[in-house]
Amino acid sequence: MIRLLIVDDSAFMRIALRKMVEHCDDIVVVGEAKNGEIALRMAQELRPDVITMDVEMPEMDGLAATQAIMQSVPCPIIMISSLTSRGALTTIEALEKGAVDFISKESSFVQLDIGQIAEELVEKIRFWYAQRGTRMKQPAPSFIPIIPTEKRITPMGKVGLVVVAVSTGGPAAMPILLKNMGAISCPMVIAQHMPAIFTRGFADHMRFETGLNVVESENGMILTPGMIVVASGGKDCVVREPFLGKLMVYDKLVESAPIHPNADVLFHSALSISVNVVAVVMTGMGNDGLQGALALQAKNTPILVQQPSSCVVDGMPGAIIDAGVPSEILGLAELGKRLAKWCK
């Protein structure tokens, strides 16, 4: 039985969240808290398996509560974020502090919105319950396949573009990679699975954390050396080369893609440009990036993969490893240093 603690300052929201899970035979609500201070005390007393955490609350908000719980009695925390710029930024900070996932909701939380997110909420509660214990502590060393020397592809000259696939765990992982990478001489484009309201805050947060030129993509944006572009949420991003050596990014929505911004779409767009490309696949659920990585590998593009044991969810890196695609499998700091070496 999954023991759930609901944290929200709105009595209506607490009732709504309870109703979303009460039909599930495997989920039981063991407590409800109206602010972060009460949530911390209840988490220590009840030891829930999963917590849903509101972002904006009086006395102790969701960010402070998440940090305190993760230091005291770590367990999977799913942020319930309003679709506002402030809510998005606080959610990203909470994910960096240890929250594992988020669900966005309309501020009014009307009946239609409840129906739309109920299925997502139950799915995420079950998923993170299954991950408990393995992701709430420092990752242990894991077996890394030995990559034959002939498969360790390295850039064939100056790198002109880095493309990155990342999903669940990205807000915590990306700043570590970027800090270890530092300023580079080519642009980087990141496909981070996020709704539209979140990606600008994600870019702003990473710019503040790293001091690097991190921006959200805009349709027709020119890519310049050292620019780190977060693909705008809720749609896909492609790289084009209208003139030799001049790279630009454009918005695109591939209806068949299961999630956006889609890494496979981004990776495939890099096949047609003239500069040397490096691809990176990081923490995330599913296998987005695999088909694009296979296509890039066929053109002797280096594919760097985050070590699975350092991932919040190792689905995306695991898919790349299982397919035998990686050039190298590295921890976060080592990934950053490798990019620094290749792209300075």
Q: pLDDT category, 140, cuts 50, 70, 90? A: very low
* Mean of pLDDT values over 123-138: 74
List of residues 6+ apart from 146 with CB closer than 8 A: none
Q: pLDDT category, 105, cuts 50, 70, 90? A: confident
pLDDT of residue 136: 45
The answer to whether residue 227 scores a pLDDT higher than 80 is: yes
Q: Which of 8, 288, 310, 327 is catalytic?
A: 288
Task: Give me the torsion for CA of 17, 21, 27, 28, rounded to 10°.
Answer: 50
Any idea which of 142-146, 245-249, 337-341 has the lowest mean pLDDT? 142-146
pLDDT of residue 326: 95
Rank 11-20, 104-113, 194-203, 258-267 by mean pLDDT and report only the highest.
Answer: 258-267
Beta-strand ranges (E) seen in the chain are 2-7, 27-33, 50-54, 77-82, 101-105, 159-166, 188-192, 214-216, 221-222, 228-230, 236-243, 246-252, 276-281, 303-306, 328-330
Q: pLDDT category, 104, cuts 50, 70, 90? A: confident
pLDDT of residue 143: 53
pLDDT in tens, 156-193: 899 999 999 999 999 999 999 999 999 999 999 999 99
Give the other-Cβ count within 10 Å of 160's Cβ.
22
Q: What is the pTM of this model?
A: 0.89
Are 336 and 176 a contacting pair, CB within 8 Å?
yes
pLDDT of residue 114: 65
The answer to whether residue 72 scores a pLDDT higher than 90 is: yes
What's the rounded Cα separation, in Å, for the pair 95 and 214? 18
pLDDT of residue 112: 46
Phi-psi category of residue 227: left, alpha or beta, with phi > 0 → left and psi -120 to 50 → alpha: beta
Gap between the terminal Cα atoms of the chain = 51
- The residue written with tokens 């809720």 in the block is 234
Tell whether omega for the bond before 261 is within 30 degrees of 0, i.e. cis.
yes
Q: Which residues make beta-bridge pairs with 32?
A: 6
Q: Is 23 assigned a catalytic role?
A: no
* Mean of pLDDT values over 13-19: 92
pLDDT in tens, 251-297: 999 999 999 999 999 999 999 999 999 999 999 999 999 999 999 99
Q: Which residues make beta-bridge pairs with 105?
A: 82
What's the rounded Cα separation, in Å, for the pair 304 and 49? 34
**Structural domain boundaries in the chain:** 2-131, 149-343
* Mean of pLDDT values over 20-24: 93
Q: Which of 81, 104, 167, 232 is catalytic?
A: 167
Q: Which two tokens stand for residue 301?
A: 């593009």
What's the rounded Cα separation, in Å, for the pair 98 and 77? 8
Amino acid at 228: I
User: Which of 267, 280, 68 is closest to 173 using CA atoms?
Assistant: 280
Whether 2-131 and 149-343 share one fold: the answer is yes
pLDDT of residue 293: 98
Any idea which of 126-140, 168-182, 239-253 has the lowest mean pLDDT? 126-140
**Residue 241 CA to chain centroid, in angstroms?**
27
Helices (H) and strands (E) in the chain, counts: 11, 15
The CATH architecture assigned to 2-131 reads 3-Layer(aba) Sandwich (3.40)
pLDDT of residue 137: 42
**Residue 1 CA to chain centroid, in angstroms?**
28
DSSP helix/strand/coil, 287: coil
pLDDT in tens, 23-43: 999 999 999 999 999 999 999
* Mean of pLDDT values over 50-76: 93
Are 161 and 186 a contacting pair, CB within 8 Å?
yes
Please, what's the b/e burial string for 27-55 (b: 16 or more CB within 10 A of its CB; e: otherwise)?
bebbbbbbbbbbbbebbeebebbbbbbbb
- The residue written with tokens 């102790």 in the block is 60
Q: Which of 104, 193, 269, 314 is catalytic?
A: 193
Are 75 and 48 a contacting pair, CB within 8 Å?
yes
The third-level CATH classification (topology) of the domain covering 149-343 is Rossmann fold (3.40.50)
